[in-house]
C-alpha cells in the first residue's frame, strides 16, 4: 500500500500517522450501512453534496479524536487492533441484518453462548473478518512505530486534537442547518456509525451494568397533612404542556392572536417563567421534584418521592395522571395512571392522533367517585410536539397558512414552520379553555383551579436550530422560556391576594417553584413546603 524506500522504512511511521490511517480505513470500509442510510434521508444532489462530504470528514475527525485521547506507547496498538477487528464484525452484522449495536444488543450478546454464536457464522462473515478485520490488524501489529520524546509526542497529540476539532467546528459552521436536522430529527442515523456507536454502547452497557445498584426510593414529606377549616373541597387540574415557548403566546405580546379564548378568561399569566431542562424526560420529573434545577439529576429524581407523592401522603387528595404525551417520566409511578394516547381510553382520536381534549372525557366519574376528597388531576398534553406540528390540531384550527407538512423542518420556509406551530398553540388555547369550562361546572360545590405549565420551549429555525434538547447552558431562551398560566374560580381566589399576584405576574419564576406552589394551593402542612418558593404567596 505505502511505498517506503528509506533504509529503515517502517520507522518513519509515527503514532499520529497510524491513527490517521486507521481512522481513514474505518470511515472508508466499515461504514457502508451508515452512508447508505444517510443517502436515503439526504439524497445525493447539488444541495446535499457539501453537507454529505463534510459528514464523512466529521466521522473521521471524531474517530481520530477518540483514538488520540486513548493513545499512548502502550495503548495505541492494542486499542486499534481490537477496534478494527470488532468493527469488521459489527460492519458485517449491520450490513447483513440491518441491526444496531446498542447497549441491549451487547447485553444479549454477552448472554449468548458460543454454540448459538456459531449458528450465525457464514462465509460472508469470514470474508469480512479476514479482509476488514485480521488484515489491517496484522498490519497494525507489525508496524514499527517511531516514538519521539515525550514533548514531541504531546505536541503531535495536541495537533491531532486541534485538527479534529477544527474539522468538526468548520463543518458545524458551514452546514449548521444540516447538522441540526441530522442530530435532532434523524437520531437513528448515528446508530450505524462504526466504530463510534458500538464503543458508545459498550460504555453505556458497562456503566449501566456495574454502576447501578437497585434504586431505593427516598420518601419525603411523610408528615404532610391538610389542616384546613375549608368546608369546600378543591379540584385542581394541572396541565403539563409540551414544547410551548412563551414568546409565541399573544398573552405575552406575540403579534399573532394565539390566545383568542384564554384572553377572555380571568387568568393570571406568568410571563417570565423558565424550564428546568430542554427535554420532556428532563423537565417533567424535575418540575415535580423537590430539587431545584441546580441540584437536580436524573438519578436523584427517580430515587426521591415527588410532590405528587407528598400530596398522596395527606390521604385527603384523590390523584390521577392522564397522559397523551409519552408517559409521566416516573412522576406518576405511585398514583393512578391512564394512557390517553391510545384510542382504547381516548374517545377523540383521528388517524392515529389522539386529541388533548379527549383527556377531559369521563373526569366527572372520577370526581363523583371521590366525593369526600380533594381532587388533583394531571393532564400531560401532546401540545406542540414536533416536528410534525401540523398533525397536532384538527383542520378547524388551521388559521395560519401555508403550513409545513413534513417532518424535515429545514425543507420548509420559516413562515410555514411558524404557521404550523402557531396553529398547534391555538389548539392548546382551546384545550385550556375547555378545561376551565369543565371546572366551572363545579363552582357551586368546589373551589377549583387550573394550572398550566409547559415542559420546555422549542426552536423554530432561528440560527438553523429546530426542536429542543440542547444542553441547558447553550440552549437559546426559545427552548427554556415557557408558557405558564393559572386560573382560579371566585372562591379559590379568596385564598390569595389576587391583585398583588397579577401585579407581580411578570416576576421571574421557574419550574423550581411548582413543588411548593402545589402544596400551598392545597394548604398542605409539611416540612418540605417552602413558602418563599410558592408562586401564590
Ligand atoms: Zn417535551
Instruction: State the residue for C-alpha cell 402557531.
Output: 422
Give the pairing of strands 524-525 and 225-226: antiparallel
Q: How far is the CA of 125 from the centre of ligand 1 (A)?
A: 43
Long-range contacts of range 436-443, CB-CB < 8 Å, 24 or more positions apart?
Answer: 436/265, 436/487, 438/237, 438/360, 438/363, 439/235, 439/237, 439/487, 439/489, 440/489, 442/235, 442/367, 443/489, 443/490, 443/491
Q: Considering only 119-123, 152-156, 380-384, which range has the smallest mean pLDDT?
A: 119-123
- Residues 476-525: tens digit of each pLDDT: 999 999 999 999 999 999 999 999 999 999 999 999 999 999 999 999 99
Q: How far is the CA of 381 from the centre of ligand 1 (A)?
A: 9
Q: Considering only 122-131, 156-165, 377-386, which range has the smallest mean pLDDT?
A: 122-131
Give the pairing of strands 446-454 and 484-488: antiparallel
How far lies 373's CA from each of 170, 236, 495, 518, 529, in Å?
61, 12, 19, 16, 21
Q: How far is the CA of 28 from the centre of ligand 1 (A)?
A: 38
Q: How far is the CA of 458 from the centre of ligand 1 (A)?
A: 9
State the average pLDDT over residues 103-123: 63
Q: How far is the CA of 300 from the centre of ligand 1 (A)?
A: 20
| pTM tops 0.95, yes or no | no
Q: How far is the CA of 279 from the centre of ligand 1 (A)?
A: 5
pLDDT of residue 456 exceeding 70: yes
C-alpha cell at 253: 405580546
Give the pairing of strands 484-488 and 267-269: antiparallel
Dmax over CA atoms of the chain, in Å, equals 99
Residue 13 neighbours by CB under 8 Å, 6+ apart: 143, 144, 145, 146
pLDDT of residue 1 exceeding 70: no
Q: How far is the CA of 80 from the centre of ligand 1 (A)?
A: 40
Q: How far is the CA of 380 from the centre of ligand 1 (A)?
A: 10
Q: How far is the CA of 459 from the centre of ligand 1 (A)?
A: 12
C-alpha cell at 353: 392522533
What pLDDT score was predicted for residue 183? 86
Q: How far is the CA of 276 from the centre of ligand 1 (A)?
A: 11
Q: How far is the CA of 78 from the centre of ligand 1 (A)?
A: 43
What pLDDT score was predicted for residue 173? 92
Q: How far is the CA of 280 from the centre of ligand 1 (A)?
A: 4
Q: How many CB atoms lie within 10 A of CB 204?
A: 14
Give CA–CA dist 176/242, Å, rounded: 25
Q: How far is the CA of 239 from the centre of ligand 1 (A)?
A: 13
Q: How far is the CA of 155 from the centre of ligand 1 (A)?
A: 44
Q: How far is the CA of 486 from the centre of ligand 1 (A)?
A: 20
Give CA–CA dist 354/347, Å, rounded: 8
Instruction: State the residue for C-alpha cell 434538547.
Output: 469
Q: How far is the CA of 391 from the centre of ligand 1 (A)?
A: 16
Give CA–CA dist 328/379, Å, rounded: 10
How many angstroms from the chain centroid is the CA of residue 517? Answer: 26
Which residue would you say has higher pLDDT here, 109 or 36?
A: 36
Q: How far is the CA of 124 from the centre of ligand 1 (A)?
A: 44
- Please state, for a pLDDT cut of 70, what percent of the chain lies above it: 93
Helix (H) / strand (E) containing 525? strand 524-525
Give CA–CA dist 496/521, Å, rounded: 9
Q: How far is the CA of 323 from the centre of ligand 1 (A)?
A: 12
How far lies 409's CA from each of 55, 98, 255, 291, 426, in Å?
20, 27, 23, 35, 20
Q: How far is the CA of 321 from the centre of ligand 1 (A)?
A: 16
Give CA–CA dist 435/449, Å, rounded: 10
Q: How far is the CA of 241 from the centre of ligand 1 (A)?
A: 8
How many angstroms from the chain centroid is the CA of residue 215? Answer: 22
pLDDT of residue 261 exceeding 80: yes
What pLDDT score was predicted for residue 108? 59
Amino acid at each position: 500500500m505505502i511505498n517506503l524506500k528509506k533504509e529503515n522504512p517502517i520507522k518513519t511511521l509515527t503514532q499520529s500517522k497510524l491513527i490517521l490511517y486507521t481512522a481513514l480505513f474505518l470511515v472508508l470500509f466499515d461504514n457502508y450501512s451508515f452512508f447508505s442510510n444517510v443517502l436515503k434521508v439526504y439524497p445525493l444532489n447539488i444541495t446535499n453534496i457539501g453537507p454529505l462530504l463534510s459528514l464523512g470528514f466529521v466521522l473521521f475527525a471524531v474517530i481520530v479524536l477518540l483514538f488520540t485521547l486513548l493513545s499512548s506507547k502502550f495503548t495505541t496498538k492494542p486499542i486499534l487492533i481490537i477496534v478494527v477487528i470488532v468493527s469488521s464484525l459489527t460492519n458485517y452484522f449491520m450490513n447483513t441484518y440491518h441491526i444496531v449495536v446498542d447497549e441491549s444488543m451487547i447485553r444479549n450478546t454477552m448472554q449468548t453462548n458460543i454454540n448459538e454464536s456459531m449458528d450465525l457464522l457464514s462465509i460472508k462473515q469470514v470474508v469480512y473478518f479476514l479482509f476488514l478485520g485480521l488484515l489491517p490488524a496484522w498490519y497494525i501489529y507489525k508496524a514499527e512505530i517511531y516514538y519521539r520524546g515525550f514533548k514531541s509526542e504531546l505536541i503531535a497529540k495536541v495537533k491531532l486534537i486541534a485538527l479534529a476539532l477544527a474539522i468538526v467546528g468548520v463543518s458545524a459552521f458551514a452546514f449548521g442547518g444540516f447538522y441540526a436536522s441530522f442530530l435532532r430529527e434523524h437520531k437513528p442515523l448515528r446508530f450505524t456509525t462504526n466504530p463510534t456507536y458500538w464503543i458508545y454502547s459498550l460504555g453505556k452497557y458497562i456503566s449501566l451494568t456495574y454502576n447501578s445498584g437497585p434504586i431505593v426510593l427516598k420518601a419525603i414529606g411523610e408528615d404532610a397533612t391538610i389542616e384546613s377549616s375549608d368546608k369546600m373541597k378543591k379540584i385542581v387540574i394541572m396541565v403539563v404542556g409540551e414544547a410551548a415557548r412563551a414568546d409565541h403566546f399573544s398573552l405575552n405580546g406575540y403579534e399573532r392572536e394565539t390566545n383568542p379564548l384564554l384572553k377572555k378568561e380571568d387568568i393570571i399569566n406568568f410571563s417570565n417563567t423558565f424550564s428546568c431542562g430542554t427535554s420532556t424526560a428532563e423537565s417533567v420529573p424535575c418540575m415535580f421534584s423537590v430539587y431545584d434545577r441546580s441540584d437536580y439529576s436524573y438519578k436523584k429524581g427517580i430515587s426521591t418521592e415527588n410532590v405528587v407523592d407528598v400530596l398522596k401522603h395527606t390521604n385527603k387528595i384523590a390523584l390521577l395522571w392522564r397522559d397523551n404525551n409519552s408517559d409521566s417520566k416516573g412522576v406518576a409511578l405511585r398514583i393512578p395512571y391512564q394512557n390517553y394516547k391510545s384510542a382504547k381510553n381516548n374517545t377523540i382520536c383521528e388517524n392515529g392522533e389522539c386529541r388533548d381534549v379527549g383527556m377531559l372525557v369521563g373526569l366527572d366519574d372520577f370526581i363523583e367517585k371521590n366525593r369526600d376528597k380533594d381532587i388533583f388531576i394531571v393532564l400531560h398534553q401532546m401540545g406542540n410536539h414536533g416536528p410534525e406540528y401540523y398533525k397536532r390540531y384538527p383542520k378547524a384550527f388551521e388559521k395560519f397558512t401555508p403550513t409545513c407538512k413534513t417532518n424535515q423542518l429545514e425543507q420548509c420556509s420559516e413562515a410555514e414552520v411558524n404557521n404550523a406551530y402557531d396553529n398547534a398553540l391555538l389548539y392548546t388555547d382551546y384545550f385550556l379553555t375547555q378545561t376551565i369550562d369543565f371546572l366551572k361546572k363545579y363552582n357551586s360545590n368546589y373551589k377549583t383551579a387550573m394550572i398550566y405549565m409547559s415542559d420546555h420551549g422549542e426552536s423554530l429555525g432561528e440560527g438553523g436550530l429546530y426542536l429542543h434538547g440542547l444542553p441547558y447552558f447553550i440552549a437559546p431562551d426559545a427552548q427554556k422560556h415557557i408558557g405558564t398560566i393559572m386560573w382560579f374560580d371566585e372562591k379559590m381566589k379568596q385564598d390569595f391576594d389576587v391583585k398583588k399576584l397579577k401585579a407581580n405576574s411578570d416576576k421571574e419564576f421557574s419550574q423550581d417553584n411548582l413543588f411548593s406552589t402545589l402544596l400551598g394551593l392545597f394548604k398542605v402542612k409539611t416540612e418540605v413546603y417552602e413558602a418563599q418558593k410558592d408562586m401564590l404567596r
